[in-house]
Amino acid sequence: MIEEKLLKGGSFLVEDVDPDEVLTPESFNDEHKMIAKTTEEYIKNDVWPVLEDLENHEFDKSVTLLQKAGELGLLGIDVPEEYGGLELDKITSSLVTEKMALAGGFSITHGAHVGIGSLPIVFFGNEEQKQKYLPSLATGEKIAAYALTEPGSGSDALGAKTTAVLNEEGTHYVLNGEKQWITNSAFADVFVVYAKIDGEKFSAFIVERDFPGVSTGPEEKKMGIKSSSTRTLVLEDAQVPVENVLGEIGRGHVIAFNILNVGRYKLAIGGVGGAKRALELAVQYANERKQFQTPISSFSLIQEKLANMATQTYANESAVYRTVGLFESRLGQLSKEELNDGSAVAKGIAEYAIECSMNKYTATELLDYVADEAVQIHGGYGFMAEYEVERIYRDSRINRIFEGTNEINRLLVPGTFMKKAMKGELPLLEKAMGLQNELMAMMPETPGDEALEQEKYLVGNAKKIGLLAAGIAAQKYQEKLEQEQELLSNIADIAADVYNMESAVLRTAKAIARDGEEKSRQKLLYTQVFVEETLNNIEAHAKETLIAVEEGDNLRMMLSALRKLTRREHINVIEKKREIASTLIEEEKYYV
Amino acid sequence: MNIYVLMKKTFDTEEKIQVSGGAIEQDGAEFIINPYDEYAIEEAINIRDEHGGEVTVVTVGDEDSEQQLRTALAMGADKATLINIEDDVEDGDQYTTSTILATYLKDQEVDLILAGNVAIDQASGQVGPRVADQLDIPYVTTITGITIDGEQVNIEKDVEGDVEKVQTSLPLLVTCQQGLNEPRYPSLPGIMKAKKKPLEELELDDLDLDEDDVEAKTETTDVFLPPEKEAGKVLEGEIDDQVKELVSLLRTEAKVL
């Protein structure tokens, strides 16, 4: 048997990958597309008509909607068949997540149920727990929620104060504490709750709403995602049967952190879905709205905005589906036994922690940026609540905060790279060392003028810049690098920029190989503009890092190397953006 | 009961129509099941669920029509037949399509045939009645309700907004109007099951038809978009003067008087 080659998490920074190894939206099959369409019709026919009611906290309608979703199969995608689910691939569940973004805050209700609420049981539940809970979660008969955050512990999740003590009879754990900002808490039947057994062993529990001592607080008043329920979960001598401990005692962090990884890439996909919607509304409005007797979409400053929004969306879309492809190939090759063994699954998910974090912060920032510009294009009307962009703008903001703030996620990226390097999983240090010698003698190359040739060359150089910046920072600060958060954040930004850039280039290259250059024109334009502009960001982050770390002759040498690596034939982005925009204006939606 | 549905794929209602070289530009367009045919599919599934039997969805189209047939199977139809005329027929018309369908249906055991009232693209509304005529069975168009009791069929038919009640018998062909039902969209299990349902592909040869047998009876001489709507005119001044101006404009500019 030939084993499928699996790409290592984080390997994009040190290795090149063939376009055919990368999942792109162009390779979705007919079933994927049909399921995406069903999801879209469900939202337009069932969710949109009651969205206003959900925004006003009529949560009985959320429950009805989830049950309808269950009937359609939209809740069982990640649940194995033997527990009443459909057990479809990660591409399917990602596409559903992307389409769900159209539902505003209700997408958070859905996501919390199928994702962070149900997945801990799917991945880490034992046989009895799966049989007991999954069938009713897959139909929507029961709704799930996830309770990790506390008033005093957000990013520092392990600092939780909720305690669990075994009762004298040894039958129940008695939980005490308060969990905060729990999505779906108004109506959830099942909560995955983290608590410390005897105040020290961080563990996960399946807590039913009806257990004695379990209650929820009042509904929170939020800036956005108002159509989702958010309350505290109050545990006062809550009686949780011992068989409801989820996973191993004292190893709750394994569940918590891996579920967060899944939550992160799903949020990223939702970000891309939301950005597409905001762009669509913006371009439609720009075509419709006339000032000076002219549709505002004919003004080139509006066109530039539309082009920027679409270009950033393309790069992020390419990157998040590339990550989905990584998950699909790694989790898809696990055997039934391995899938039933939480640790194998956890390892599979943890492998791509870097990609999940990068996707999370770039795609949620994409959504914020696109939502902001969509409001701007709407002018004063965008500030009015009758317009959908107003809600999108408010709903967007939380994404940069939950599932690990974007700052925490940025710190995680270089941290995880270093760990992988230390364990010998990635040849980062060797590459970085080799690079420093190479850079002395390096002469800038002039790539040919075939489509994407310059972009491919620049992606290669951008990887070198990333290694250079990370390498010298690690050399200088060693284990104290943890304290240099600004440098870590710079490195994280360079890494994410490289990943997005390369993902766009690979996707476009794959499309050109399949459909030819003419039919891939829009993709090519997006990619050229994105690489040109993103390289400026990479250069700025690298420069700031080098100046903070090096000095004198060394610094001058490094800066000169940086200049060589970023030297290129600059392209006329204004011209290209106008061309991008003209297609968007014609199509009146995000178009590739 | 053997139920057949006649289906056509049409442009997605959100597509912009562009004409070039005397034909509608199809490149890169999204296609859907003709919305009126969705009513037919939904009703066929409901009738099967109530009376038993089998629903077969038939289309005359090309290779890409398979996608719409799969959608019909995902909604709950049992079987699908694609009569692929891509290589045989260049410019067909309603005669072409109905002859092909009738030839195919003559060889089947048929109790009930459902079709859309019209297709949203060419909107001829002819194919259903023509098929019934060639099969020599009764037909009722634009139905908004149907109940079957043994051989007897009671139908509610939309007549310009009024309802006409019709009693007839099987075998029968009906064309479906908005209001008949609310078509479901395919569920995920339905979509996965559709992959394994039988989808038969036929060509003219398989029906013992030649290109000449189905040659169009009509010729399309031109295809053009309606003129863009211009801004309206608001008349001003005394009412009497406005009326005079309106009459004069209707006479000289619009030339309708």
Q: What ranges do the domains of chain A cover? A: 146-249, 424-587
Contacts of A29 (CB under 8 A, 6+ apart): none
ipTM over 0.90: no
Instruction: Report the alpha-carbon distance of residue A414 to residue A486 in Å, rounded.
Output: 11
Alpha helices by DSSP H, chain B: 35-51, 66-75, 94-106, 127-135, 188-194, 239-252
| SS3 letters across A364-393 | HHHHHHHHHHHHHHHHHHHHCCCCHHHHHH
Q: Contact at 8 Å (CB) between A46 and A68?
A: yes
Compare CB distances from B191 to A35, A76, A586 and report the shortest one's residue. A35
Beta strands in B198-238 (DSSP E): 199-202
Q: What is the pLDDT of residues A221-279, one digit of tens each?
A: 999 999 999 999 999 999 999 999 999 999 999 999 889 899 999 999 999 999 999 99
Helix orientation angle between A485-515 and A406-422, rounded to the nearest 10 degrees: 80
- Which residues of chain B neighbour A88 with C-beta distances below 8 Å? 188, 192
Residue that the structure tokens 């045939």 belong to: B113
Q: Are B186 and A34 a contacting pair at CB < 8 A?
A: yes
Q: Are B188 and A86 a contacting pair at CB < 8 A?
A: yes
Q: Is A403 a catalytic residue?
A: yes
Q: Please give the pLDDT value at position B254.
A: 83
Minimum Cα–Cα distance from A96: chain B residue? B188
Q: Are A31 and B67 a contacting pair at CB < 8 A?
A: no
Is A88 near chain B, with CB under 8 Å? yes
**Residue type at position A213:** G
Give chain B's mean pLDDT.
93
Q: What is the pLDDT of residues A31-73, one digit of tens each?
A: 999 999 999 999 999 999 999 999 999 999 999 999 999 999 9
Is A73 near chain B, with CB under 8 Å? yes
Pairing of strands B54-61, B79-84: parallel
Q: What is the pLDDT of residues B16-40, one digit of tens each?
A: 888 887 788 887 788 999 999 999 9
Burial class (CB in 10 A: 0-12, 13-18, 19+), A3: exposed
Which of 3.30.70.1060, 3.40.50.2300, 2.40.160.10, 1.20.140.10 would CATH assign to domain A424-587? 1.20.140.10
Secondary structure class of A484 (helix, strand, coil): coil
Is B67 near chain A, with CB under 8 Å? yes
Among the ranges given (A125-129, A156-160, A290-294, A533-537), the one the predictor scored with the smallest mean pLDDT: A156-160
Catalytic position from the list A355, A365, A390, A403: A403
Q: Please give the pLDDT value at position A8.
A: 92
pLDDT over threshold 70, residue A299:
yes
Which of 2.40.50.100, 1.10.10.10, 2.40.110.10, 2.40.50.140 would CATH assign to domain A146-249? 2.40.110.10
Is A44 near chain B, with CB under 8 Å? no
Give chain A's mean pLDDT.
95
- Which residues of chain B neighbour A77 with C-beta distances below 8 Å? 188
In DSSP terms, A235 is beta-bridged to: A177, A214
Q: What is the pLDDT of residues B222-242, one digit of tens each?
A: 888 888 887 788 888 899 999
Q: How many CB pairs under 8 A join A and B?
A: 38
Q: Are B185 and A45 a contacting pair at CB < 8 A?
A: yes
In DSSP terms, A197 is beta-bridged to: A164, A201
pTM: 0.92
Q: How confident is the model at residue A4 (pLDDT cuts 50, 70, 90)?
A: low
H-helix or E-strand spanning residue A481 = none
Helices then strands, each counted (H, E), chain B: 6, 13
Q: How far is CA A313 from the centre of its chain?
A: 13
Q: Are B187 and A73 a contacting pair at CB < 8 A?
A: yes
In DSSP terms, A214 is beta-bridged to: A235
Is B186 near chain A, with CB under 8 Å? yes
- Which residues of chain B neighbour A585 with C-beta distances below 8 Å? none
Could you tell me what percent of chain A has a pLDDT over 70?
Answer: 99
How far is CA A538 from each of CA A18, A494, A543, A576, B157, rounded to the nearest angstrom? 23, 5, 8, 21, 68
Q: How confident is the model at residue A541 (pLDDT cuts 50, 70, 90)?
A: very high
Q: Are B188 and A71 a contacting pair at CB < 8 A?
A: no
In DSSP terms, A238 is beta-bridged to: A175
Fold matches, A146-249 and A424-587:
no
Low-confidence stretches of chain B (pLDDT beneath 50): none
Compare CB distances from B71 to A34, A71, A86 and report the shortest one's residue. A34
pLDDT over threshold 60, residue A113:
yes
Among the ranges given (A227-231, A408-412, A487-491, B11-15), the one the predictor scored with the smallest mean pLDDT: B11-15
pLDDT over threshold 50, residue A1:
no
What mean pLDDT is predicted for residues A121-131? 95
Q: What is the pLDDT of residues A352-363, one digit of tens each?
A: 999 999 999 999
Secondary structure class of A215 (helix, strand, coil): strand
Q: Are A38 and B67 a contacting pair at CB < 8 A?
A: no
How far is CA A522 from each of CA A95, A454, A590, rounded to the nearest angstrom? 22, 17, 11
Chain A neighbours among B 95-154 (CB < 8 Å)? none
Q: Contact at 8 Å (CB) between B74 and B42?
A: no
Go through the domains of chain B in sequence order and give each one's CATH number.
2-213 (3.40.50.620), 230-256 (no CATH)
